[in-house]
Structure 1
Amino acid sequence: MNPRNNHRLILFPHPFQGHMNSMLQLGRILYARGFSITIVHTNFNAPDPSSHPNFAFQSITDGIDQSEASTLDTRGLLALLDVRCAVPFEECLREIVSSQGGDAAPIACLISDSMFSFTCSVAQRLKVHALVLRTAGAAFLYIATIFPVLKEKGYVPVLGSRSEEAVKEFPPLLVKDIPAVDPQKPEVMFRILDNLIAVIKDSSGVIINTFEELEHSDLASLREVLSVPFFPIGPSHRFCVTSPSSSSQAEDTDCISWLDKQPPKSVIYVSFGSLAAMSEAEMLEIALGLADSEQPFLWVVRPRSVRDPEWLEKSPSHFLKALEGRGKIVKWAPQKEVLAHPAVGAFWTHSGWNSTLESISEGVPMLCMPRFADQGVNARYVSDVWRIGVHLNGGLERENIARSIKRLLAEREGAEIRERALVLKEKASISVRQGGPSYQALDALISHILSFK
């Protein structure tokens, strides 16, 4: 622990769980480097202060009621939060700024999630320096910078499109990898990405959860196009080895003792993140595909991940029988601990950025099933650029699922993928060690913050 440096940071996370986790990880990293940390947060998906006793917490009203949270799609909720949080956030930051003095450490800067479009302009009005945290990878952010070009060339898909057409200007992407627009409300996606680029350009720098050896060319492109400092400090969770869980859902730690009984590299871990939802028909195909794979599996079926809350109890009896002794279903799992377990041989993932980095950090091959947002780009990089996983090509059907799992866990191709994944794991580990690229980026970030006057 470094001595306190008498500087305070105001952190404003987005309330979606993956974003919240990343900001709290950053807070722990910077607290360990001597900063005092104040978390300003929405009431929606609020963090638990008792899990972070070294931080101060201040809430703002967001006006999101439970019915809106449950009925809006992800993009709609992003847009609504961006509108409703602007005034309450400015009032809160103004109050914090006006209360400086006395025993309170002076504010060094604000660090806000890049999905809020208003934070940098608010900070400028209050004469506070502002950085942004980007919780997705560099490749997707670069795609966001060229989105107008992709739109002009007809590459931007509509929801439901699964076009295999190649994006010639940006190999190896396919059209289906690019975020789709809702044909009824196409302006929502364009506005979100326009706001993202604008807030980054207005900031004093971007903290990004990736590392140089993983995305060097995309980081170089971003530095050139956006002309702001970038600080790639990932995988950020590797700086927080003993950090408490930031999950908003209770983790089932019993699954670790179940994993202890499984052979090495035999288990397929299945988790589709905190937002993706499936139909009952899709869940049935997943269930039967897992059963037919004849591999042990640990499957996260979180509440509201399927429309029928009693789906599991209604599952076919022959699946439940096949599950006996070979599979385990939990509502939520301690993912980093699961991925680090020697029994886990592959990760069937929605390809969210946090999950992708956590899998890379443990050298676990991935079976990718992207659903929305940046996930298509992440999955394409996993399969075609880094070559540490495969796409679930051929559709969400039980025969295809079983065949894909066997490719990773029981065939020579899977062994070759694992070898490449272990090489990338070592690069990720080196990156956060003293003297490594991410460690140096963290040092540069701290010097940058302390240079603000």
Structure 2
Amino acid sequence: MEMTGEHKKHVAVFAFPFASHPPLLLSVVRRLASAAPTVVFSFFSTHRTNQTLFPDTSCCGNIVSYDIHDGLPEGYLLPGKLHEDVNLFLAVAEEEFKRGVEAAEKDIGMKISCLMVDAFLWFSADLADELNVPWVAFWTAGACSLSTHFYTDLIRQKYAQIKGSTGVEDEVTNLIPGLLTVRLGDIQSGIIFGDLKSPFATMAHKMAGVLPRATAIFINSFQELDPDLTKNLSSVFNNFLSIGPFNLVSKQKSQSKADEFSCISWLENKKPGSVAYISFGTVCIPPPHELVAIAEALEETKTSFLWSLKKDSQKHLPSGFLERTAINGLGKVVPWAPQVQVLEHCAIGVFVTHGGWNSVLESIASGVPMICRPFYGDQPINAWMVERVWGIAARVEGGSFTKLGTCRALDSVLSIDGSSKGVKERTKALKDLAHKAVEPNGSSYRNFKTLVDVVVGGASS
């Protein structure tokens, strides 16, 4: 696959092949590839991930996918332990990526000019040094969770002895620069709570120590959302670039899956701002008793709803719930919904969510308030931000859905009296800032141009 005559530079892209990390990184690569058609991008991930991302290899243009080994022995069945697949991948990742780069350089006939990586792949900084090329890292979540990882040592130094202390998770600290307050229990597991020696926690800690070496760090956000955090992280990192929200700028938005369950046409018959959209992403599923609590609250409050819930989880809903709510037009339960299109519809008045970063940003960009029920990872700190810092959400009482708590949360966001007015005003204000950020000369627009300059240099024309 000789490309030297047509292409000026060769950028290697390392994906962390789990959850939403690869498609998010690829969405940025596609934007870069469009902005720099004379640059070839080698995209490295596992075979399973690449099969999903590149179903038709003939339409990739100047992006070429390369498979690397996932670390699973042949015929190995995952035992279901948390992060087992991640740990096995990390055990082989460094050598696999090195081998992949050598193969791609030989295949394409050009040396690598830049390494663009998922931030979790911290070890690739050494490879960038060996190759004497820029090392550019992508943080897939928000500035808040990046900051808590970066200041892990500072947090541990102050709270080293608190593990196991009663009620300490509810302590609110102002220790993290740029973040006025945060509840300790909402900081990601592996920083001060949980197994601090696990491979995942070790990976995140090492990442935090290496990131200041990056030529640039880019995130899916807009700097007006977190001005104080952005200012602080810009002081400790080189070229800290917010280039989102991705759902407002990605060309892949128009190529999303068809609305096979007619969600949008169903919404057309609903009053503006009256419908609760419920979705917990592709991984998080509330336990059966919480699904029941949500269903009972929806019927009790007569709240119109669109609920994206996998078929195998629908069996846990109360007897007759699906039939009753379908017949009376109160709700619609589907196995999958086109989330961005749904959130942008005027009928949606609240998003009931796990608080994953993509969902949070999509909700903000659509001007939809949230009800958050976080599960793990960065979801708790995201929930803290949307409720306590930005004031655009309610968080479920006690950390899990109950019928009464869900009724109260729905009422607090969807009510037509003054109690929800401030939430809706703040949500609209952030939506306006998000849209301005991606417009020509907006902050995200300018930051993306900087990213192009760092990654491809003078080969963007």
Fold shared, TM-score > 0.5 on shorter chain: yes
Cα shift at 1:346: 0.8
* Inter-CA distance 194–422: structure 2 relative to 1 (3 Å threshold): same
Sequence identity (%): 27
Return 353-362 or 173-182, whichever deviates more: 173-182
Could you give the per-residue CA deviations for residues 94-149 of structure 1, whole angstroms, max 9, x where no partner exists?
Answer: 11123453xx6x64312111112322222333344321111111121111122222
1:53 lines up with 2:64 in the alignment: no
Cα shift at 1:76: 4.3
Cα shift at 1:218: 0.8
Q: 2:30 aligns to what SS in structure 1?
A: helix
Cα shift at 1:296: 1.0
Aligned residue in 2 for 1:86: 94
Aligned residue in 1 for 2:233: 222
TM-score, scaled to structure 2: 0.86
Q: Distance in 2 between matches of 1:339 and 1:197?
A: 34
Residue among 300, 314, 317 paired with 2:319 = 317
Q: 1:50 aligns to what SS in structure 2?
A: coil
Residue among 238, 241, 246 paired with 2:248 = 238
Return 49-58 or 207-216, whichever deviates more: 49-58
Cα shift at 1:253: 4.6
Equivalent runs, 1:26-425 vs 2, <5 Å: 26-35=28-37, 36-46=40-50, 47-50=52-55, 53-54=60-61, 55-64=63-72, 71-73=80-82, 75-101=83-109, 107-154=112-159, 163-170=169-176, 171-181=180-190, 185-188=195-198, 190-225=201-236, 227-241=237-251, 243=253, 252-302=260-310, 309=312, 311-313=313-315, 315-324=317-326, 325-394=329-398, 395-411=400-416, 412-425=418-431
Q: Distance in 2 between matches of 1:351 and 1:362?
A: 15
Aligned residue in 2 for 1:436: 442
Q: Distance in 2 between matches of 1:70 and 1:25?
A: 32
Q: Distance in 2 between matches of 1:301 and 1:87?
A: 39
TM-score, scaled to structure 1: 0.87
Aligned residue in 1 for 2:24: 22
Could you give the per-residue CA deviations for residues 205-249 of structure 1, whole angstroms, max 9, x where no partner exists?
Answer: 111111111112112211223x422121111232224545578xx
Please report the RMSD computed on the Cα atoms of aligned residues, expressed in angstroms.
Answer: 2.9
Alpha-carbon contact 1:157-1:178 (below 8 Å) kept: no
Aligned residue in 2 for 1:12: 14
Amino acid corresponding to residue 88 of structure 1 in structure 2: E
Alpha-carbon contact 1:299-1:330 (below 8 Å) kept: yes
* Inter-CA distance 409–396: structure 2 relative to 1 (3 Å threshold): same
Q: 2:244 aligns to what SS in structure 1?
A: coil
Alpha-carbon contact 2:275-2:303 (below 8 Å) kept: yes
Alpha-carbon contact 1:157-1:176 (below 8 Å) kept: no
* Inter-CA distance 314–173: structure 2 relative to 1 (3 Å threshold): closer
Alpha-carbon contact 1:292-1:399 (below 8 Å) kept: no
Q: 2:49 aligns to what SS in structure 1?
A: coil
Q: Distance in 2 between matches of 1:177 and 1:183?
A: 10
Gaps of 5+ in 1: 304-308
Could you give the per-residue CA deviations for residues 339-361 of structure 1, whole angstroms, max 9, x where no partner exists?
Answer: 11111111111111111111111
Q: Distance in 2 between matches of 1:184 and 1:442?
A: 36
* Inter-CA distance 187–68: structure 2 relative to 1 (3 Å threshold): farther
Aligned residue in 1 for 2:3: none
Alpha-carbon contact 1:82-1:117 (below 8 Å) kept: no
Aligned residue in 2 for 1:306: none
Return 404-413 or 263-272, whichever deviates more: 404-413
Q: Distance in 1 between matches of 2:186 and 2:256?
A: 29
Cα shift at 1:398: 1.1
Alpha-carbon contact 2:288-2:317 (below 8 Å) kept: no
Cα shift at 1:197: 1.1
Alpha-carbon contact 1:388-1:417 (below 8 Å) kept: yes
Q: 1:213 aligns to what SS in structure 2?
A: coil
Cα shift at 1:327: 1.4
Q: Distance in 2 between matches of 1:327 and 1:85?
A: 45
Q: 2:333 aligns to what SS in structure 1?
A: strand
